[in-house]
Each structure stands twice: as C-alpha cells, then as structure tokens.
C-alpha cells in the first residue's frame, strides 16, 4: 500500500486529490491510502439537492465550505477535529458496493485503543448506538474509492447548525436529533490526547508495510485543475434546479430516493433522481432511461425490469422504486 500525506485542509483540494489518484495517476502499487482533515465543511452526497441539506445563512455567516462528493450517501459536517480516511484500489475485483473490507482496519485500529467500535447495517461506524463515522464509496471502471469520516473532537454545535436533516431521516434512525445521534471519539478515549496524537496512533496501526509517495509539482498542477474546474465550481456543488411537475420520495433501508419528473401529456419528458442512496453506476444513464416512458405503472414496471436495479442501487429493489415513482 502507498500512503500519501495530504497536508491540505481544503476539502476541494482533497476531493480533487482523490479523483486524480483514482482516475489519472498510476503508482507502483494498486492500493493507496490517505488520512486527511478539513476546515469547517459540509460534504454533500453525489445525488443530493444541496439547497435542502444546508443552513444557508449559517454557512454564509460562518464561512463554512460546501462541497459535493463523488460518492453517494448523505450530508456530513467536518472540521479540524474530524479525520477522513480514503482507500483507493485500482484493481478491484468485487462487484457492487461493500463496506466491510475498508471499515475493518479502522475498527481494528480503534479496538486496539480500547474504543468499542462496530459497523452497522448501512454505512456507519458506531460506539454503542451513536455514530462517529460515515462511509461512502464510488467506482470508476476497475477502480474503487472508499472514504469515511471519523469524529474525534468536532464542534457538534456547529455541525447541528450547519446541516438541515429531513424529518423523515431523523424518524427512520429512531433518534430525536443530529446531536443525539453522533459521538466524538475523544469522549471515550481513556487518555487525554490531541487530534494530532490521535492521527499518529491511527497511522501507526494502519500503515504496516506501506511506502510513502510525495506528490510532485506536476501532480499538484493536475490536482489544482480538477479542484478549480470541478470541486470549487458552483455548477458542481449546487447545480441547476430541474423543472418538474411531479415530485415523489420514499425512504428505504438503502436510503431516501426523490424522483422529480416532468410529465407532459402523460409522458415523462425529464427525470431527476436525488437522495442519499449509494449507486454503482452512472445516475444520468438511469435518469435518461425514463425519458419518453409513459407515466403509467405497467410501463414503468417494464422499464425498471430492463434496468437491473438491484445491481445499480445498494439495498434498494425494483419494487421499492416502483412504489416510490407511482404506487
Ligand atoms: N463528520 C461526520 N461523521 C459522522 N457522522 C456525521 C458527521 N457529520 C454528520 N454526521 C451525522 O451523520 C448523518 C448523515 O449520515 P448519512 O448516512 O446520511 O451520510 C453519511 O454518513 C455520508 C458519509 C460520507 C463519508 C465521506 C468520508 C470522506 S469524505 S465524505 C448526519 O445527519 C449526522 O447525524
């Protein structure tokens, strides 16, 4: 495994670095690992509507970065008290989405510190029933990228004020609030250590048999290009609002799915799919396949049969989508 030390605390740079390593750069080893943190930031999932996820006034007044990730899932808040880890594998054989392989080493490293961490059924790492880590992944051809957050001593008040969480999600998680749901690891560590000490302990355990690669000037130039053109752009982070006249959503085990349809004379003319689900293909291909389909149950059912939904979505079935779109 190759370790790259990203000293940057810009989420825009770090997401560009991830993309560069996944899609452009070849190193001597197929496995790459990053451990990084950011200035106060809201990280929105790939398929979410940014405006619904953020407290715009708070974000503006407190200079919180807002950035859309390449990966699906929901919105998280990070600051200098939180760490993110990224595993990249350029030659990944397994199909679809699976979290265990990458969360395993993190859980192990924490258990060595007597932190009783475990993985839940969707994408979280918990202590007891409180979450300290959210995980997500995306794929590009044969490569996979898995990243996760780790709350060490994040400002939970700022988290609560920055993100707006839909009521149906709070209910689905069986909790009353964001604050009640999360936990900082520093609360359960027996020694009083700094966030930097924590990073050192984690890296000590995670970087067995790894080598270090230092980014060159050319690497940084290419990363800055992706940063500017994509991750810092308004278009990518906020995007355009679709024109629709039918809006339907449902929450499933695999996440919430929002369908925005523009239906004219009974025929779907435009389709936007949003939510905090995980997907293993291109959303635009899925959205486009609805165009020109009649907005009637039988036709949509037939269309969904051709789309191999169970392989596309993580823990969401064809019948779930049908129910969401038209039932
Ligand atoms: N930083 C952080 N870590 C863990 N949990 C968080 C965090 N911020 C908010 N939350 C809680 O998780 C839910 C959202 O959970 P949800 O399951 O919807 O979304 C996620 O977990 C996405 C994880 C993405 C991880 C990547 C890692 C590297 S870059 S981004 C939110 O409403 C809060 O209750």
Query: Which residues of the chain form beta strands (DSSP E)?
Result: 2-4, 31-36, 41-44, 65-68, 76-78, 82-89, 117-119, 124-127, 130-140, 143-151, 211-213, 246-252, 255-264, 267-275
Nearest partner of 29 among 205, 218, 213, judged by Cα:
213
Residue 77 clears pLDDT 80, i.e. is over it: yes
Q: Give pTM, 2 decimals.
A: 0.90
The CA distance from 193 to 195, in Å, is 7
What residue ranges define each of the domains in the chain, with the CATH number in brackets?
A: 2-238 (3.30.930.10), 242-326 (3.30.390.50)
Q: Among the atoms of ligand 1, which is closest to the Cα of residue 132?
A: 4
* Residue nearest ligand 1's atom 27 by CA: 148
Residue 241 clears pLDDT 70, i.e. is over it: no
pLDDT in tens, 266-285: 899 999 999 999 999 899 99
Lowest mean pLDDT among 41-55, 147-161, 164-178, 288-302: 164-178
The CA distance from 127 to 143, in Å, is 31
Mapped onto helix, strand or coil, the DSSP state of residue 89 is strand
φ/ψ of 8, rounded to 5, equals: -70, 140
Q: Among the atoms of ligand 1, which is closest to the Cα of residue 11?
A: 29
Can you give the pLDDT at residue 170? 82
* Residue nearest ligand 1's atom 11 by CA: 76
**Distance in Å, CA 296 to ligand 1 centroid:** 36
Query: For helices 195-206 and 100-112, what crossing angle results, to 10°?
Result: 120
* Residue nearest ligand 1's atom 12 by CA: 76
Q: Which residues line ligand 1 (CB under 6 A)?
A: 43, 69, 73-78, 82, 84, 123, 131, 133-136, 147-149, 151, 159, 163, 165, 178, 181-182, 276
CB contact set of 263 (below 8 Å; sequence gap of 6+): 245, 246, 269, 295
The CA distance from 216 to 277, in Å, is 36
Ligand 1 pocket: which of 76, 164, 178, 187 to mutate (most atoms within 8 A of CB)? 76
pLDDT in tens, 116-163: 999 987 899 999 999 999 999 999 999 999 999 999 999 999 999 999
Q: Among the atoms of ligand 1, which is closest to the Cα of residue 178?
A: 34
Residue 243 clears pLDDT 80, i.e. is over it: no
* Residue nearest ligand 1's atom 19 by CA: 74
Q: Among the atoms of ligand 1, which is closest to the Cα of residue 122?
A: 17
Can you give the pLDDT at residue 9? 98
> Do the Cβ atoms of 260 and 272 come closer than 8 Å?
yes
The CA distance from 139 to 280, in Å, is 7
> What percentage of the chain reaches a pLDDT higher than 70?
99
> Do the Cβ atoms of 18 and 147 come closer than 8 Å?
yes
Nearest partner of 71 among 10, 141, 135, judged by Cα:
135
* Residue nearest ligand 1's atom 21 by CA: 134
Residue 240 clears pLDDT 90, i.e. is over it: no
- pLDDT band of residue 166 (cuts 50, 70, 90) is confident
In this structure, the number of other CB atoms found within 10 A of the CB of residue 178 comes to 20
> Do the Cβ atoms of 141 and 99 come closer than 8 Å?
no
pLDDT in tens, 192-218: 999 999 999 999 999 988 999 999 999
Nearest partner of 78 among 130, 122, 117, 133, judged by Cα:
133
Mapped onto helix, strand or coil, the DSSP state of residue 86 is strand
* Residue nearest ligand 1's atom 26 by CA: 148
**Distance in Å, CA 76 to ligand 1 centroid:** 4
Residue 178 clears pLDDT 90, i.e. is over it: no
> For residue 188, how many C-alpha atoms fall within 13 Å in the half-sphere facing its CB?
18
Query: For helices 217-226 and 11-23, what crossing angle results, to 10°?
Result: 110
Nearest partner of 250 among 165, 169, 308, 176, judged by Cα:
169
């Amino acid at each position: 495994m190759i370790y790259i030390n990203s000293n940057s605390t810009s989420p825009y740079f770090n997401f560009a670095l991830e993309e560069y390593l996944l899609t452009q750069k070849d190193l001597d080893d197929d496995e790459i690992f990053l451990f990084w943190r950011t200035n106060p930031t809201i990280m929105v999932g790939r398929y979410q509507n940014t405006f619904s996820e953020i407290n715009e006034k708070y974000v503006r007044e407190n200079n919180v970065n807002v950035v859309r990730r390449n990966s699906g899932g929901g919105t998280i808040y990070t600051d200098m008290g939180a760490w993110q880890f990224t595993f990249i594998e350029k030659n990944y054989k397994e199909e679809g989405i699976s979290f265990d392989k990458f969360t395993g080493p993190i859980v192990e490293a924490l258990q060595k510190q007597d932190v009783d961490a475990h993985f839940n059924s969707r994408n979280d790492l918990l202590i007891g029933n409180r979450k300290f880590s959210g995980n997500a992944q995306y794929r590009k051809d044969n490569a996979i990228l898995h990243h996760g957050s780790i709350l060490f001593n994040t400002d939970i008040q700022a988290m609560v004020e920055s993100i707006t969480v839909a009521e149906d999600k709070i209910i689905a998680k069986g909790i009353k609030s964001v604050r009640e749901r999360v936990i900082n690891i520093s609360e359960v560590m027996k020694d009083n250590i700094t966030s930097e000490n924590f990073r050192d302990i984690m890296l000590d355990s995670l970087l067995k048999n790894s080598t270090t690669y230092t980014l060159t000037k050319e690497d940084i130039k290419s990363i800055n290009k992706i940063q500017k053109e994509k991750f810092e752009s308004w278009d990518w982070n906020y995007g355009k609002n679709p024109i629709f006249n039918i809006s339907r959503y449902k929450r499933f085990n695999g996440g919430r799915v929002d369908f925005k349809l523009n239906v004219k004379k009974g025929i779907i003319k435009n389709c936007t799919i949003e939510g905090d689900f995980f997907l293993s293909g291109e959303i635009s291909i899925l959205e486009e396949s609805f165009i020109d389909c009649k907005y009637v149950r039988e036709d949509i059912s037939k269309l969904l049969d051709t789309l191999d939904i169970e392989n596309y979505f993580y823990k969401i079935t064809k019948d779930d989508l049908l129910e969401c779109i038209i039932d």
